[in-house]
Structure 1
Amino acid sequence: MAKVSLNSLRVTNIPSHIDKATFIEFAKQYSFKSVERGWLSRSVKGSDNPAVSLSPQFDGHVGTITLPSKEHKEAALKNNNAEWRLDDLFDRITILSSPEEPDIDICAIHGLNGNAFDTWAAQSHGKTIMWLRDLLPTTEPFENARVMTFGYSSQLSDRKNLSGIMEWSHNLLLSAMIRLNLYDKPEYRGVQLDRCGLLFLSTPHSGTTEADWNKLLLDIAWVSWGVRTEIVDCLRAFNLTSSESQDQYANMKIKPPCAALYETKKTKVNGFNRLVVARQSASFGNVTASPMDNVDHNTICKFDSKFNGFIEVVIQLRHLRNLLVGGSNSAAPTFDDHGKTSIAFSGIGGIGKTATMIDIAHHELDCRNIFFVQGKDKPSLDRAYLHIARRIGPEYLMKEFQGKDLQEAWRNERPEERIQRFKTWLEDAENETSLFLFDDVDGVQGVDRIGDTVPPEAQTVLYTTRNPVVRDPGFHFHRIRITPMDADTLIKIMEAVRNEELTDSKTFGDLFQRQTLLQIAKTVHGHPLAASIAIKYIVRVVSHNNPATAGQAFIEILNSDNYKEREEFLNFSPENVSVMETFHVSRRRLRDPEGQAWRLMQFNCMLDTSESGTDFFDHACFITSAEFPDHDILSTESVQVRNRLSNQIESVSFGERTHLSKPLMFHPLWLECTRHMMGPEGRLRYARQVLQVSYHSYFSQVNQDGSDEARTRASGFLAHARHCMVVCRNFKIGFEDLDILDAIQEWVQPPTRRRNR
């Protein structure tokens, strides 16, 4: 039988009408209580925040629950009285994430002695992080991917299981074809190789010497432990099965795009540290495996954050996705490629781009020279490169001035000559692997293209940029979008800041409670800079009143109508820049910081900008210059103008598109910063226009034809108006301040609701 999960459960037979909130309540009944281990052991504490997933599968839903301990899992299996079925096997297909319109399927298949859930789950600070469920669905560009696992009975010691490698692969393909044939679309009727990509993580395509057991020992193992010799035989180094498989792969007419990664740390096996799968075995055909730093055979598939190995897997998955969806024929990004490679980390200010880039650099320290460059203009760039040249010193003069006084020759070099010699030094074969890190490439003034910020001799460059559509045509270019952090990663950051700020867990009680940190993470919407500043603000400012509940007091401030205290937090700058200063940087990079793009941004901060919302600017209101001060933007004839302005907004990372056909999405903190920068008169100005346009457009739709589409659009304009009034109330603006028609007030907020307030 399949290996069971340590502390996670799969829930099936869930009706399709069950929503995630209901499922979370179901999960809490098994997770929040303490569970007894035994009369000689302490009880295991519960948790009121279990990690869960709920996704459509076949005619209903399938869910997963990660519980605090093995004891909680066993208690749930024993005491479940619901019609929903619980199991810890995760056999066959389990869907972990499935949007309404998935653009790609990702199926993870574990190895021998693995479990379809635990193989991908990391343990960190008492928490279980299953990256396929908890990290990947919120990572660009996989927000619209359907993610699933496939489980099978793979235990080497399971004598009752007669299935082998061929049977397991057949079972997987059969499950996939059955699933795909449910769709009445020609492209889903069967599995097509040219529509599939494969990523292997330390898979021994040529076998492994760890399977080269003595034949007598194998016979003993079969008798005493049930080790299945036919499976071990298939894993031996240069075994017949793998050789035949590689020959068959070489003769395939259609080869699916493939990539492979291998471990770089040794794994403890029977008391000895050994490299289980080396590069040679992980490579096959024309696929050369790439190394993943600081992982062994067990941890190459387990990640507890969006850093380190997770980034390397996402890079490979993104490459395969581009080949399948975008039709790109570019090579997979890797530092081992020949030719120039640049990777741009894009995202809003303070989201963690620089930290991600530096984290990668730390992993490369032992492998290559690393140069960190910053500059705001051409002269400062030259100074940065002169500083690097000085750090290297006269080493690159040795060939030309061999046997002479290098120090004297070095002193006679002019600054521009030193810089040029440094660039020439980069072309030497032993220096080709040098890695350049360029932070905030958008901030360099007077440079036409990002490739001009680094020496043309550089082979590998990492950038950070706020521009999500930036390109570097001079390199093999790859872009990685850094999205808001998941709650668990953000909590780790806040805990680190908290531990630096204080150690008194009794006085600052709620800052040492995970639930409080989780609420703060949600309040700052996954923004790491805001989260770290929040902890310092709570300790240094909010705690003066009551340190024991300072964390909760901060949460209440950010959710209240006390906009002056919210603004104080946004402007709070301890040792680093404030959230508002980070926002200012993006605004200053607009072509005209006071121009049309900024005015469009002020409209957006008053609207319901959720992805499902109605396009406010596709309205039915007659716009006049006398009644609407921003008529040049509001006019329905200004579509091309708004598209151009939206591109400007996106280029400074004020907003981003999840898809080319979708409207811009905005981080809530950026919308809040915009509202504060508008000032009182600005908030009144844009609120009046939003309410007027929404009111007239609503009744235009209602009076149109009574169709479902018209009613849906009408409700969308009402949602814009109500959201606008929520914003107004958060800044203590009432209807009496707006000077608008009474009819608009009655429409937005009916009399019965006003009397109940």
Structure 2
Amino acid sequence: MSRYTARITYLDPATTEIELVGFLQGKGLATSPGQSRISLATGLEGSKIATATFETGEILSRALKLTPQERLLHDRHVTLDDTFEGFTPLSDGDKIDIVALHGLNGHAFDTWQYHSSDDCFMWLRDSLPEHFPGARVLTYGYNANVISDVSTGRLRTFAETFLERLRQERDSEGYRHKPLVLMAHSMGGLVLKQALIVGSNRADMRYKDLLESIHAVMFFGTPHQGGNGVSTAEFLTNLLHAVNLDARSDLIRELNPNSLFLFDLTGDFRQVIESLHTVICTFVEGKETKIGRWPLKRKLLIVQEQSAILGVARERKTSVNANHSDICKFKGPGDAAYATVRQVLRELIVEITPVITARDANDQPPPPSDLKYTTNDGDWKKYPVLEWGAHTYWALSHIDNRYGMTIVAYDKQGRIAGRWEKAGARYIHSIKMDRERVEFVGQGEYSITFALKDLKIT
């Protein structure tokens, strides 16, 4: 159950945020004051999906009890729930997908939401879309229980279901190759690891496009190495206490050891991400968590640094001044921990998203001997360039002036990192781009086109 927030589905595609607010207010359902307490985005079938945070739990309860007739909007009987099962889009964007996966006994909305007696802030909804307007942000919810689902081995099923539903969510023209950043909290990271291993082992390549689109995975307090010296039973007990749930330690000790495979995925997962050249961003909890009750109350790090680190070449480690539960909850846009996470994400998006710009070719190193810097209008100071992460892509013409251009990628040190030749145009004058392709336009509007994925340097 979400704290005061409902999801509203099956909204007409033409529904606006103003109409939605008016609809709720007309039912006496006051939303929480402040900006961005409502989101409205496009779902899988084209219908709109919204979230609305209400002032009190009593208002949320009334909203969930609306009759079918009371839920009529634009001749549709919309639905309201607070379970957030499956995917919930929080914003629309065509540049990148950011998908958040909660941990066991977590919640697709509340895991990422800070709330106090007089305020709340769900950064994935209330701030992230504003900072990254080209991002489609989604949460994924699943009803997983630490004890029962670990003991029965159902977590593999959760992983497989997540993977397939994510493929379906992106299985449309223009979305299959859209860059993807995945983030997971706590043991949700273990489910995520299992999902990617399952996908990479499919002989039919069903998830090939999906896996190759994953640029980065962000882990918030994920125990890659298990309890790191602490028994599995004790670790799971501490984890449950960290989220204010009681657990009988004798039940946890009786877990079938063979069902705890999630703690032994690191080797296989390393191979997967290294083959995909995926960036790993690890967030380590910097504060101890209070667990237990008096007189046995104590404080400890639920996931210690040695366990939180995956240990791969492309891993970026960041310490967050928060405990295990709050490592992915922030008090507001000015929260220092949120600023840290946002900066990590900004750097990832710069690496992911190509940008069309203009550079002064006079500042470039000499071209290869068979090529030359030439623009259709002769202005070297405004040479059309594609910037992508640490590289710039220049469309150079041939010395013999034939109709063909070679795209040369330079790194930040001015070294050539790649080149691609194609006939059909010469003398660059502009660059055009959509989600999947980039077009280099030359003299007479003749052009050459490349798939972005073919130009990506890993």
TM-score by length of 1: 0.37
1:149 aligns with 2:157: no
Which of 37, 60, 85 aligns to 1:73? It is 60
Q: Which residue of 2 aligns with 1:107?
A: 99
Which of 35, 38, 53 aligns to 1:52? It is 38
1:78 and 1:50 map into 2 onto residues whose CA distance is: 24
1:164 aligns with 2:158: no
CA 1:232–1:110: 2 relative to 1, 3 Å? farther
1:263 and 1:23 map into 2 onto residues whose CA distance is: 38
Q: Secondary structure at the match of 1:300?
A: helix
Q: Secondary structure at the match of 2:173?
A: coil
Q: Which residue of 1 aligns with 2:9?
A: 12
1:269 aligns with 2:291: yes
Larger displacement relative to structure 2 (129-138 or 149-158) = 149-158
Q: Which residue of 1 aligns with 2:339?
A: 311
Which of 305, 308, 323 aligns to 1:296? It is 323
**Cα distance, 1:19 vs. partner?**
1.1
**Cα distance, 1:31 vs. partner?**
6.2
CA 1:50–1:319: 2 relative to 1, 3 Å? closer
CA 1:262–1:48: 2 relative to 1, 3 Å? closer
CA 1:225–1:77: 2 relative to 1, 3 Å? farther
CA 1:284–1:293: 2 relative to 1, 3 Å? closer
1:224 and 1:30 map into 2 onto residues whose CA distance is: 44
Task: Give 2:14's aligned amino acid.
Answer: H
Task: Give 2:276's aligned amino acid.
Answer: I
**Cα distance, 1:210 vs. partner?**
7.6
Partners of 1:112 and 1:154 within 8 A in 2: yes
Q: Secondary structure at the match of 1:204?
A: coil
**Cα distance, 1:213 vs. partner?**
3.0
Larger displacement relative to structure 2 (80-89 or 222-231) = 222-231
Q: Which residue of 2 aligns with 1:213?
A: 234
Q: Which residue of 2 aligns with 1:322?
A: 350
1:286 aligns with 2:307: no
Q: Which residue of 1 aligns with 2:266?
A: 246
Which of 63, 80, 98 aligns to 2:50? It is 63
Give RMSD over aligned pairs. Answer: 4.2
Q: Secondary structure at the match of 2:302?
A: coil
2:337 and 2:172 map into 1 onto residues whose CA distance is: 35
**Cα distance, 1:317 vs. partner?**
1.6
Partners of 1:50 and 1:65 within 8 A in 2: no
Which of 205, 212, 217 aligns to 1:194? It is 212
Partners of 2:280 and 2:316 within 8 A in 1: no
Which of 94, 101, 116 aligns to 2:88? It is 94
Which of 165, 170, 176 aligns to 1:180? It is 170
Task: Give 1:275's aligned amino acid.
Answer: L
**Cα distance, 1:92 vs. partner?**
0.8
1:317 and 1:227 map into 2 onto residues whose CA distance is: 40
Map residues 569-608 of structure 1 onto 2, 5 A cutoff. none
**Cα distance, 1:285 vs. partner?**
2.9
Q: Secondary structure at the match of 1:114?
A: coil
**Cα distance, 1:155 vs. partner?**
2.5
**Cα distance, 1:229 vs. partner?**
6.7
Q: Which residue of 2 aligns with 1:648?
A: none
1:97 and 1:272 map into 2 onto residues whose CA distance is: 40
Partners of 1:7 and 1:73 within 8 A in 2: yes
2:56 and 2:159 map into 1 onto residues whose CA distance is: 32
Q: Which residue of 1 aligns with 2:398?
A: none
Number of residue pairs aligned between Structure 1 and Structure 2: 312
CA 1:228–1:6: 2 relative to 1, 3 Å? farther
Q: Secondary structure at the match of 2:84?
A: coil
**Cα distance, 1:52 vs. partner?**
0.3
**Cα distance, 1:138 vs. partner?**
1.0
Q: Secondary structure at the match of 2:327?
A: coil
Partners of 2:12 and 2:47 within 8 A in 1: yes
Partners of 1:292 and 1:300 within 8 A in 2: no
Task: Give 1:281's aligned amino acid.
Answer: S
> Whose RCO is larger (CA < 8 A, sep 6+)?
2
Matched residues, percent identical?
25
TM-score by length of 2: 0.59
Q: Flag the structure with higher strand content.
A: 2
Q: Secondary structure at the match of 2:106?
A: coil
**Cα distance, 1:112 vs. partner?**
1.3
2:102 and 2:124 map into 1 onto residues whose CA distance is: 12
Q: Deviations over 1:491-539 (max 9, x none)?
A: xxxxxxxxxxxxxxxxxxxxxxxxxxxxxxxxxxxxxxxxxxxxxxxxx
Which of 22, 27, 41 aligns to 1:25? It is 22
1:229 and 1:309 map into 2 onto residues whose CA distance is: 36
2:150 and 2:220 map into 1 onto residues whose CA distance is: 28
CA 1:187–1:48: 2 relative to 1, 3 Å? closer
**Cα distance, 1:90 vs. partner?**
0.6
Q: Flag the structure with higher helix content.
A: 1
CA 1:70–1:161: 2 relative to 1, 3 Å? farther
CA 1:71–1:116: 2 relative to 1, 3 Å? same
Map residues 338-417 of structure 1 onto 2, 5 A cutoff. none
1:259 and 1:86 map into 2 onto residues whose CA distance is: 35
Q: Which residue of 2 aligns with 1:260?
A: 282
1:172 and 1:321 map into 2 onto residues whose CA distance is: 23
Q: Deviations over 1:250-287 (max 9, x none)?
A: 33333422110110100012121110111111111316
Partners of 2:167 and 2:210 within 8 A in 1: no
1:133 aligns with 2:125: yes
Q: Secondary structure at the match of 1:105?
A: strand
CA 1:68–1:50: 2 relative to 1, 3 Å? farther
Q: Secondary structure at the match of 1:295?
A: coil
Gaps of 5+ in 1: 34-44, 328-468, 470-639, 645-757
**Cα distance, 1:143 vs. partner?**
1.2
**Cα distance, 1:49 vs. partner?**
7.6
For the pair shown, the structure with the greater C-alpha radius of gyration is 1
Task: Give 1:284's aligned amino acid.
Answer: L
Map residues 515-554 of structure 1 onto 2, 5 A cutoff. none
1:226 and 1:24 map into 2 onto residues whose CA distance is: 49
Q: Which residue of 2 aligns with 1:562?
A: none
CA 1:135–1:79: 2 relative to 1, 3 Å? same
